[in-house]
Amino acid sequence: MSLAAERIHEEAVLVDAHNDTIVAHKHLGISLTSRSSKTQVDFPRLREAYVDVSFFAVDVTPAFKNYLTYALNAFGFFDKELEQAGGDIVIVTTKENLVEIMRDGRIGAIMAIENSDAVEGSLNVLRMLFKLGVRSIGLTHNPRSLAADGVGESRTGGGLTTFGVQLIEEMNRLGIIVDLAHISEKGFWDALEVSKKPVIVSHGNCKALCNHRRNLTDDQIRGLASKGGVIGVTFVPRFIDEKKPTLHRLLDHIDHAVDIAGIDHVGLGSDFDGGGTLLKDATELLKITEGLLERGYGEDEVKKILGENFIRVLLETLPKKGN
């Protein structure tokens, strides 16, 4: 690794917009506070990788009608792990504490939910999840949710439901990021029309390079950028290339997204511990930095992709302290 890449990687604000680490560790019965060869992310490796902010998602889809309990159980496990970490990892809840966390050199954790059925069709439950610290919610997984159709239901042509519209409006008001990973294309465009805040696709790639249902068309990438949003390019091999997923091909997806959306609307969403296996673990994120530099990206451009773009969305969306 070049000294320039190491320096830039260390100096940059590094944001990973999606991992499934909470559930992976909980199911395996292993702590996040120590290194484990069984997972891709833990607190020591986040520190080693110079990650500043990480979205810790709980996908409630496997819960089968016990979505809220499943989410609370997982976040309860995470809360216990944070206590054991002794304050080195801190939940991000407001604009102010995000800035404080980065200033103090601690790691910020965004509590995220994958599949809005965790709110059980109730805006009151949404408000309580907000009070617990949830700051990002994916409207769907691949199946249909109460809010919208996922990509697995695209045959129907369905988009946002009436509840989905209400959910986005309340998320905007509270200061919760709207995540459009997994949503049907009709739902994607519906959400862009409804949301008054930037939206994200926490983990997904470019359909023009890999025709997978989870990837975005060029029009979707442009639409995301038009709302000030960010796509988190992900490390899931089948989203990168059907035949030969490589780091080179992953960087092609970053290049393409930048060409379509502009440098201010592309970031990283590893999907570590949820299928993002192109890189061994978080400690290999430096390979992305080196690869971008080798492709001619300037230092400021690399830093935007590594995290500054997602930090902008967080600062535009999170509530102010006391709200």
Tell me how far apart the alpha carbons of residues 285 and 297 are, in angstroms, rounded to a whole number.
16
pLDDT in the model for residue 1: 62
How confident is the prediction for the chain on average, in pLDDT?
96
User: Could you give the angle at which helices 185-194 and 218-226 cross, rounded to 10 degrees?
Assistant: 10
pLDDT in the model for residue 8: 96
The answer to whether 55 and 21 have CB atoms below 8 angstroms apart is no
Residue range 282-303: average pLDDT?
Answer: 98
Residues contacting residue 81 through CB under 8 Å, at least 6 positions apart: 25, 31, 32, 33, 43
How confident is the model over 310-323, as pLDDT tens digits? 999 999 999 998 76
Which own/partner contact pairs does 166-173 have at CB distance under 8 Å and 24+ positions apart? 166/123, 167/116, 167/119, 167/123, 167/126, 167/139, 168/139, 168/194, 168/195, 169/194, 170/123, 170/126, 170/127, 171/126, 171/137, 172/196, 172/197
> Can you read off the two tokens belonging to residue 29?
């019965």
The answer to whether 123 and 173 have CB atoms below 8 angstroms apart is no
Q: What is the pTM of this model?
A: 0.97
Q: Give the amino acid at 73.
A: N
The answer to whether 281 and 235 have CB atoms below 8 angstroms apart is no
Q: Of how many residues is the chain composed?
A: 323
Domains of the chain in sequence order: 3-317 (3.20.20.140)
pLDDT at 64 over 90: no
pLDDT in the model for residue 157: 84
Residue range 175-200: average pLDDT?
Answer: 98
Give the SS3 label for residue 234.
coil
Tell me how far apart the alpha carbons of residues 217 and 211 are, in angstroms, rounded to a whole number.
9
